[in-house]
Structure 1
Amino acid sequence: MIAYIFPGQGSQTKGMGGTLFEEFKQLTMQADGVLGYSIKELCLEDPQSKLSQTQYTQPALYIVNALSYLHKIQETGKKPDFAAGHSLGEYNALFAAGAFDFETGLRVVKKRGELMSQATGGGMAAVIGLDEEQITAVLQQNQLQNIEIANYNSPSQIVISGLKTDIDQAKVVFERIKGVQMFIPLKTSGAFHSRYMTEAKNKFAVFLDNFKFSELAITVIANVYARPYKQSAIKQTLIEQLTSPVKWNESIKNLLSLGEMEFEEIGPGRVLTGLVQRIKRESDL
């Protein structure tokens, strides 16, 4: 069995997409029409250094992931058995499964990026070396209860999310803790996948009201539940995703429990490939 996995924010790099924009000229033109700027120029040259800004990052990654997927399908002539994506990447998993067409997905992602970019004053950081229970204990013992776990990336790589001031305070605390290998502040504008995204979530819910989703042709694993998407709950799951943690570790474990599973990362970078290897190693799978 094959599972295609799609990366999210953090995997963007200048030069991503390469020859895909020429290969898929029609879709590239369509994307430019929706966005109002040249996606090829943004990804390949990034002349105004906007690629790292959420409202630009998310559409850019969605497009490159989607074109990478279409290229892969043309190359192999077959679709995967399962699809999953990390946060923003989940939209590409749904695109691969036929939930919406390229342009509809882009319109939704563009709005998501805009709303998420408006949530300022937040921060995120990766804590490497501690498990979920240990991190929760540290947060409670140090009165850092406004910080939440945002991503369960692997058993010992967990991302926390909260106000920037609290994340700065947490850095001092965690760097003193035995067992913490690294504390890495992430380059994000907001406290994604936490209660601080509630306003964005509410506005996104209103926006999504106008959309209908098609029947899924491939099983897609949802970040929110680490279980397959329910057709009737696609909209609600995408809304919940903004404030819920990304259960990547559990999602991969559940896919591995189904039998012989091959994972292929579709899009720029190899972040998720590394996480899958880490999950297997740390879980003795």
Structure 2
Amino acid sequence: MITYVFPGQGSQTKGMGGTLFDEFKELTTQASDILGYSIKELCLEDPQANLGQTQYTQPALYVVNALSYQKKIQETGKKPDFVAGHSLGEYDALFAAGAFDFGTGLKLVQKRGELMSRATGGGMAAVIGLNAEQIANVLKQNNLQSIDLANFNSPAQIVISGLREDINKAQPIFEGTQGVQMFIPLKTSGAFHSRYMEEAKREFTAFINSFAFSRLTIPVISNVHARPYQESEIAQNLIEQITHPVKWTDSIRYLMSLGDMEFAEVGPGKVLTGLVQRIKREAGQ
């Protein structure tokens, strides 16, 4: 069995997509028409240095992931057994599974990126070396319960999310904690996947409720539940995902529990490939 995994924000790089834009001209034109700017120019040249800004990053990654998937299907001639995506990548997993067409997915992602980019004053940081329980204890002992656990990337790589001043306050505390190998502040504008995204979630709810979704042709593993999507809950899952943590470790463990499972990262970079290897390695811990 094979699972295709689609990366999310943080995997973007100038030059991503390469020849895909010319290979899939129709979809590239459709994307540029929806967005109101050249997606090819943004990804390959990034002349205005916009690629790192959430409202541009998310549509750009969605498009490159989707074109990468089209290419993969063209090359292999068959679909994967399962799909999963990390945060924004979940939209590509749903596109691959037939929940919506390319253009609909892009409209959803464009709105999501816009709303999330408005959430300023927040920050995120990766804590490497401690498990979720240990991180929660450090936050509690230091009266930092205003910080949420946002991404469970691997058993010992957890991303925390909160107000920027609280994340800054947490840095020396974690760096002085036994077992912490690294504390890495992330380049994000907001406290994604936390309670501080409630406003974005509210506005996204109003937007997504006007869309209808199709039957899934491939099981999609949900970030929120780390289990396959229920078809009746596609919109609700995408709404909840904005404020809920990404349960990546549990998602990969669930897929591994199904039997002999291969994973292939579809999109730019190898972030998820590294996380999957780490989850396999740390599975016994």
TM-score normalised by L of structure 1: 0.99
Give me the whole-angstrom Cα distance separating, in 2, the residues matched to 1:283 and 1:30: 42
Give me the whole-angstrom Cα distance separating, in 1, the residues matched to 2:133 and 2:74: 44
Give me the whole-angstrom Cα distance separating, in 1, the residues matched to 2:133 and 2:231: 33
Instruction: Provide the residue aligned with 2:147 in structure 1.
Output: 147
Alignment of 1:61-210 (within 5 A): 61-210=61-210
Instruction: Provide the residue aligned with 2:283 in structure 1.
Output: 283
Alignment of 1:4-23 (within 5 A): 4-23=4-23
Give me the whole-angstrom Cα distance separating, in 1, the residues matched to 2:133 and 2:111: 35
Q: Which amino acid aligns with 1:120?
A: T
Give me the whole-angstrom Cα distance separating, in 2, the residues matched to 1:213 and 1:119: 27
Secondary structure at the counterpart of residue 180 of structure 1: coil
Count residues with an aligned counterpart.
285
**Offset of 1:209 from its aligned partner?**
1.0
Two-structure CA RMSD over aligned residues (Å): 0.7
Give me the whole-angstrom Cα distance separating, in 1, the residues matched to 2:225 and 2:209: 22
Structure 1 stretches of 4+ with a deviation exceeding 3 A read: none
**Offset of 1:172 from its aligned partner?**
1.1
Give me the whole-angstrom Cα distance separating, in 1, the residues matched to 2:278 and 2:194: 25
Give me the whole-angstrom Cα distance separating, in 1, the residues matched to 2:43 and 2:132: 36
Secondary structure at the counterpart of residue 124 of structure 1: strand
Q: Deviations over 1:204-223 (max 9, x none)?
A: 00000110000000000000
Instruction: Provide the residue aligned with 1:50 in structure 2.
Output: 50
Give me the whole-angstrom Cα distance separating, in 1, the residues matched to 2:105 and 2:237: 15
Secondary structure at the counterpart of residue 127 of structure 1: strand
Give me the whole-angstrom Cα distance separating, in 1, the residues matched to 2:140 and 2:20: 48
Secondary structure at the counterpart of residue 280 of structure 2: helix
**Offset of 1:86 from its aligned partner?**
0.1
Instruction: Provide the residue aligned with 2:264 in structure 1.
Output: 264
**Offset of 1:146 from its aligned partner?**
0.4
**Offset of 1:83 from its aligned partner?**
0.2
Give me the whole-angstrom Cα distance separating, in 2, the residues matched to 1:133 and 1:17: 38
**Offset of 1:37 from its aligned partner?**
0.3
Give me the whole-angstrom Cα distance separating, in 1, the residues matched to 2:272 and 2:207: 30
Q: Deviations over 1:244-268 (max 9, x none)?
A: 0000000000000000000000000
Give me the whole-angstrom Cα distance separating, in 1, the residues matched to 2:30 and 2:284: 45
Give me the whole-angstrom Cα distance separating, in 2, the residues matched to 1:236 and 1:278: 30
**Offset of 1:284 from its aligned partner?**
3.6
Q: Which amino acid aligns with 1:263?
A: F
In the alignment, structure 1 segments of 5+ residues that lack a partner are none
Secondary structure at the counterpart of residue 61 of structure 2: helix
Q: Deviations over 1:224-275 (max 9, x none)?
A: 0000000000000000000000000000000000000000000000000000
Give me the whole-angstrom Cα distance separating, in 2, the residues matched to 1:185 and 1:172: 12
Give me the whole-angstrom Cα distance separating, in 1, the residues matched to 2:8 and 2:35: 19
Secondary structure at the counterpart of residue 3 of structure 1: strand
Q: Which amino acid aligns with 1:76?
A: T
TM-score normalised by L of structure 2: 0.99
Give me the whole-angstrom Cα distance separating, in 2, the residues matched to 1:221 and 1:32: 29
Give me the whole-angstrom Cα distance separating, in 2, the residues matched to 1:104 and 1:75: 25
Q: Deviations over 1:123-157 (max 9, x none)?
A: 00000000011000000000101000000000000
Identity rate, percent: 74
Give me the whole-angstrom Cα distance separating, in 1, the residues matched to 2:108 and 2:155: 31
Q: Which amino acid aligns with 1:29?
A: T
Q: Which amino acid aligns with 2:144?
A: L
Give me the whole-angstrom Cα distance separating, in 2, the residues matched to 1:72 and 1:48: 30
In the alignment, structure 2 segments of 5+ residues that lack a partner are none
